[in-house]
Amino acid sequence: MFGINFLNHPNLKKLYLPDAYEGNPLLKSFELISREVKPWPGEVDVEGMPEDNIVVSEEGS
């Protein structure tokens, strides 16, 4: 980690990661999943809300 060698360390262990994990999450070049460009879900066409169909009349009282 950070290019430092720890000599005679009594309990030197690797990071707790899954066996099939590829890459090193401590490197700056490691791409975080949360930073990947994903399409915005709001771009999908949806039906209008029921409130959009309400017509307001301006009759005097």
CA distances from 22 to 17, 41, 42, 61 (A): 9, 29, 32, 72
How far is it, in rounded angstroms, from Cα 25 to Cα 21? 10
pLDDT of 3-57, one tens digit each?
A: 677 788 888 777 777 788 777 767 777 766 666 677 777 766 666 666 666 777 7
pLDDT of residue 36: 64
Cβ 12 vs Cβ 6: under 8 Å = yes
End-to-end CA gap in the chain:
77
Quote the pTM value: 0.25
How far is it, in rounded angstroms, from Cα 8 to Cα 28? 28
